[in-house]
Structure 1
């Protein structure tokens, strides 16, 4: 450690950017400065093994990095739950630091950067189960599940530290309808969704949040825009850790707008949330970000004034689009590597370890060992 003190900090950062992610977890205890570095998104973005998109087909999972060029790598499935039968994933939910991967039976909580995962089987079988996300308060993790049972709406939370499911009938404070589970985002211990109060009115779209203490879904704030058509792209994301961003593409004009909130999100009060147009793309030959076969929404992230998007075309081929300065600067078809109609989502690499559910971790290891 004495020799390290003599090295320039920039050189230490460069060395650590080449260290495998699993080792970085152990290095948190070296010093406060090192620990702060590993919390820095800039460091994560510059790490040599970072990636931005996760793509899953029926039998394989890939990571996609885009700097300096688009590179697709197959990820190993040798972690609990990922190789378990049945393999097919139903949906991905990016929870900022972790991924929720819904399967035909149960769900996998996964950090693909660290190669950690745990398989969790739901307590009950419902007609429709939507694994909305994971929230963390005071280092305690909870998973939120929405389902239908006998025409009743049920909210269920799973507490990792207690290995306990708690369910209750849904209460919604006003007459609203869920647009898409793909719009659910996790921010600072709270889950948010895009809702609409009037589908025929583009201005009738807003954000609702789930209050764990009151056990109710209620209005949080307005969106700066809505959908004019079912094939319009409308995707809510977390921006720079504490803000919201919203991607909107009109299926008719092909124009793409990116909106971001003016201030950090205060989960207690959405009355002062304001939006500004962060970037727009209206040049000719912009791609359709929502295909008209399955109407799946795109995945995207923002880096400076550059927009990176992953979406499928009407043939099911996956594409990576990079846009900057009102232009489409590159497009890459992944058809040579990735089979058609894959699932996809963004993922910002993190050193957050998958929470070990008491009594569930051993079950996952047993399932992985004997059922693969």
Structure 2
């Protein structure tokens, strides 16, 4: 492929390396230079090379960007969400407000109606692609709801709306379809595919339909509901990165028990084998008998590029323990079999919220305070630094060229 002029002295591999370090916006403009440039930029191998290079550049600069999301149920024409990107520039923390971008996106999807209330949820990020869930309702006609989910690449501005899985109306437990929830999103490295996991409650309170969407087939597929000893389980929507090596992880509660944060299992789903697995949490992390259940919170997600449990106590002396998985059922992935307490922070004087995690490369931890404001915690000094923005969801984000539809370039 003749990528550069024959008189140019830049070797082709060096030319590719230079392009891989450029932002997506510039590369999309360069697609217009020639058919050969367009073919290179659209080539799957180069797309992966570019993403790896961008990921490495962020690590060199000191941190990987975090997408911070705060969603609110609201009336049309009032911002339904707050979305910010926390990153480092030349060693300093910078915050980029992406709320207008999300507002423009939702305006293009939802009907322009003054009496529509709607939620916009961020359900996960994989390779720079954001999974969003939309739920809306006509406030003048209660029960008339609409809902959908979609995939969005903010860097390329490409959007794909995913059709809701077709099911008979009488099976849906909640009128208007508000029982539909996207609970997982990730990338399957085996099939080179992006997949969405959703649950739909039906009339029986202990039955859920688990559906998995594949971007490559553009199709929803029903999978067996996870159960432990015949007892069905449900999961919460993720609030942080919880997909690792093609396996998604959740905190799972059994449906024959009233919700109790002390009674749970770790649930994993392998996108490739389409198999759910249960595993036990670390026994040393469970709260003592008699501890106030309302003051116990769990999160599961990535910590130092490994799956971790974040255990938060807010009663009495507040504390946070972080347990990382050290052994898995299938080698480097699958159901976790062994855990190690990596960090224990106590006592914490500040009033904590329900979210903690996402350690940064400099060792700082991201906390949600009682008022949902982001605070960076330095374990060495024990000091909190408030950032002046609110959030309840946090995912790592690195921009990418990964397409949501196949682009074919024919060279002549």
TM-score by length of 2: 0.66
Per-residue deviation, 1:276: 1.9
Distance in 1, matches of 2:63 and 2:326, equals: 32
Residues 7-59 of structure 1: per-residue CA shift (max 9 Å, x gap): x99xx88x965x32344687768998995463253324457997312324552
Matched residue, 1:52: 66
Matched residue, 2:281: 222
Seen in structure 2, the aligned counterparts of structure 1 residues 141 and 57 have a Cα distance that, compared at 3 Å, is closer
1:275 counterpart SS class:
strand
Distance in 2, matches of 1:356 and 1:285, equals: 50
Seen in structure 2, the aligned counterparts of structure 1 residues 23 and 70 have a Cα distance that, compared at 3 Å, is closer
Per-residue deviation, 1:244: 0.4
Distance in 2, matches of 1:191 and 1:271, equals: 10
Seen in structure 2, the aligned counterparts of structure 1 residues 120 and 87 have a Cα distance that, compared at 3 Å, is farther
Residues 135-163 of structure 1: per-residue CA shift (max 9 Å, x gap): 42421233221111222411122222222
Q: Retained in 2: the 8 A contact 1:249–1:257?
A: yes
Matched residue, 1:84: 109
- The RMSD of aligned alpha carbons is 4.3
Q: Which of 299, 306, 310 is 1:247 aligned to?
A: 310
Matched residue, 2:243: 186
Seen in structure 2, the aligned counterparts of structure 1 residues 216 and 179 have a Cα distance that, compared at 3 Å, is same
Q: Retained in 2: the 8 A contact 1:81–1:117?
A: no
Q: Retained in 2: the 8 A contact 1:93–1:101?
A: yes
How many residues are aligned here?
337
Seen in structure 2, the aligned counterparts of structure 1 residues 134 and 179 have a Cα distance that, compared at 3 Å, is closer
Q: Does 1:161 align with 2:161?
A: no
Distance in 1, matches of 2:343 and 2:378, equals: 10
Matched residue, 1:238: 302
Distance in 1, matches of 2:353 and 2:105, equals: 33
Seen in structure 2, the aligned counterparts of structure 1 residues 321 and 156 have a Cα distance that, compared at 3 Å, is same
Structure index of larger Rg = 2
Distance in 1, matches of 2:44 and 2:221, equals: 39
Seen in structure 2, the aligned counterparts of structure 1 residues 116 and 63 have a Cα distance that, compared at 3 Å, is farther
Matched residue, 2:130: 99
Distance in 2, matches of 1:201 and 1:48, equals: 35
2:321 counterpart SS class:
strand
Distance in 2, matches of 1:270 and 1:55, equals: 28
Structure 1, unmatched stretches of 5+, are 291-297, 359-372
Q: Which of 363, 379, 383 is 1:306 aligned to?
A: 363
Q: Which of 51, 61, 75 is 1:38 aligned to?
A: 51
Per-residue deviation, 1:110: 2.3
Matched residue, 2:35: none
Distance in 2, matches of 1:57 and 1:201, equals: 23
Residues 62-84 of structure 1: per-residue CA shift (max 9 Å, x gap): 22314313424235248765642
Which aligned pairs between 1:1-372 and structure 2 lie closer than 5 A? Answer: 19-23=22-26, 36=49, 38-39=51-52, 41-46=55-60, 51-57=65-71, 59=79, 60-67=81-88, 68-75=92-99, 76-77=101-102, 83-85=108-110, 88-97=118-127, 98-104=129-135, 105-124=147-166, 126=172, 127=174, 128-135=179-186, 136=188, 137-151=190-204, 152-167=207-222, 170-174=225-229, 175=231, 177-178=233-234, 180-182=236-238, 185-196=242-253, 202=262, 204-210=263-269, 217-223=276-282, 225-226=285-286, 229-241=293-305, 243-252=306-315, 253-262=317-326, 266=330, 273-290=337-354, 298=355, 300-304=357-361, 306-311=363-368, 313-314=370-371, 317-325=372-380, 327-334=382-389, 343-351=392-400, 353-356=402-405
1:303 counterpart SS class:
coil
Seen in structure 2, the aligned counterparts of structure 1 residues 172 and 77 have a Cα distance that, compared at 3 Å, is same
TM-score by length of 1: 0.72
